[in-house]
Amino acid sequence: MAIGEVEITDFFSEELLTRLRKAFEEFDTSGDGLIGKDELVELFAKLGKRLTKKQADIIVREVDSDCNGEIDFEELCYLEIAMSGAKPQANLIDYKTFLSASTIEELQQWFSLNDMSEEGSITLDDAQKIAEQQDVRCAPEEIREVLAQVDDGEGRISLSGFCCFWAIITNAQKKINYREYLDDQDVSRFRAMFEEAAGETKQLTRKEVSDVLKEKGLVRTRKHVTRLFDESGFDKNATLDFTQLCILLVKLQKRRKQRSLTPQTCSCADLYAEGFTVEELVMCGFTLRDFEQMRLPAKKLSGGFSALELRKAGYSAGDLRRAGMGLIELRTCGFSLSQLRTAGFSAAGLAEANRTMHSCFSVGDFTLLPQIGKSSLVSWSTATKDVLAAQRATMTPLIREHTDGRHKIRSPFSKSLPSFQEKRLPVPK
């Protein structure tokens, strides 16, 4: 039950939904699952809310996605949420649909630092102190209210409860997989519209988005787009890519979720055959390992994957060479000399690559390693002098030790990190 970014079950418990449905069915005299404006006024009066017929007319036009002048039960729930200004309930949400992987990882570290006895839970006071230390813009009484929603009954919360708590108090935006709302024709139409307007830049400014949506008849007035931009956190200088445009349209048109796309509900190969891009498959929760298992060539992958990530997913040196990756990049991500020879690289090239790496490593220059170079997707805190102490004569074990993250010089979950509390998560404005 989702309309736009609003997943109704994030706001209402099963018990409350049952009560609302019972009230709705009382006024659905025809039994067709729809009520008109007059019935809506009476229904809200029963729920203790005063609504004039003029207000009902405006509201119905706002939430009536199929423009039939009536609303169904899901639209009623959406309306109740919008009118009351309700927030998702921490005990009802799935925090993974609100928080990024990097945010979850950092929350796990904060949780670990406060779970000194390793019981798998922290106190409510600990959670509140973390929020205060991170300058979360949320009133103390609201923080206590959200904590009460995830309290285990003994004044403590689990890691999942802490993540849910964090998603609510930071007003994290619900993630939207537009492919769950839009059909293939919609996606093709919007992609053509976007490419025509954006050209080679592959980005649209707020004004350009507003202009193209108005021109194509996808929005009644520009103020609707402007309001949605502001609610979504786009400043006046922001630009949107295709994914962001589709998400904006899902919210703007209050599209309904048509299907659930996860590795548990569908096949990566089937979706790829259906025309999903690699970015869309990642959005559905599929990983590089899924792509490798379906034998998707590395050269068809887009999205900025590094040689290290591809190697660890199971792609061979030959696969990555055919994708256009260079010898130094493959050598530094952990492929052995024999693997690179099998991939077709010459002995002279391998010797030169080894000399280059050895000359850099011998003077403490580790920028060739994937985690340290500018193209790295991972940040490591290991000091250069610590790495030098672990250096060995044979290069491949050294590379693998660091690229696979098996070194023990410093643990990210150490309880003695000196500057940990100084790090701050970005808090949505």
State the DSSP string of 342-403: HTT--HHHHHHHHHHHHHHHHTT--TTSTTTSTT-SS-----HHHHHHT--SSHHHHHHHHH
Structure tokens at 173: 């935006």
Rounded distance between C-alpha atoms, residue 199 and residue 210, angstroms? 16
- Amino acid sitting at position 312: K
| Per-residue model confidence (pLDDT) at position 421 | 42
| Residue located via tokens 């002995």 | 347
Taking the C-alpha atoms of residue 360 and residue 105, their distance in angstroms, rounded to an integer, is: 32
- Tens digit of each residue's pLDDT (9 = 90 or more) over 129-170: 999 999 898 899 999 999 999 999 999 999 999 999 999 999
- Token pair of 398 as six digits: 């050294």
Helix (H, G, I), strand (E, B) or coil at 45: helix
In this predicted structure, what is the pLDDT of residue 111? 95
Exposure of 150 by Cβ count < 10 A (0-12 exposed, 13-18 middle, 19+ buried)? buried
Question: pLDDT tens-digit profile of 205-242?
Answer: 999 999 999 888 887 777 888 888 888 878 888 999 99
DSSP state of 306: -
Query: Which run of H or E residues covers position 156?
Result: strand 156-158
pLDDT over threshold 90, residue 182: yes
Rounded-to-integer distance, Cα 316 and Cα 292, Å = 10
Interhelix angle 184-198/206-215, rounded to 10 degrees, is 120
- Asked whether residue 41 carries a pLDDT value surpassing 60, the answer given is yes
Q: What average pLDDT does the segment 288-300 reach?
A: 92
**Is CATH 1.10.238.10 correct for 2-84?**
yes
Is 261's pLDDT higher than 80? Answer: yes
pLDDT value of position 428: 52
CATH architecture of 178-252: Orthogonal Bundle (1.10)
* pLDDT, tens digit (0-9, with 9 covering 90-100), for 68-109: 678 889 988 888 888 788 899 999 999 999 999 999 999 999
Comparison of pLDDT for 387 and 56, the residue scoring more: 56
Strand partners of residue 256: 3
Asked if the domains 2-84 and 178-252 are classified in one and the same CATH topology, the answer is yes
- Amino acid identity of 281? L
Confidence band of 399 (pLDDT split at 50, 70, 90): low
Indicate whether 398 pLDDT > 60. no
First to last CA, the chain: 27
In the chain, what are the domain boundaries?
2-84, 95-169, 178-252, 303-403
CA distances from residue 9 to 14, 212, 270 in whole angstroms, order as listed: 8, 34, 29
What is the homologous superfamily of the domain 95-169 according to CATH?
A: EF-hand (1.10.238.10)
For 386-395, letters b (16+ CB in 10 Å) and e give ebeeeeeeeb
User: Which two three-digit tokens encode residue 66?
Assistant: 């199929």
3-state secondary structure of 181: coil
Residues facing residue 122 across a β-bridge: 157
Structure tokens at 126: 């600990």
Rounded to two decimals, what is the model's pTM?
A: 0.75
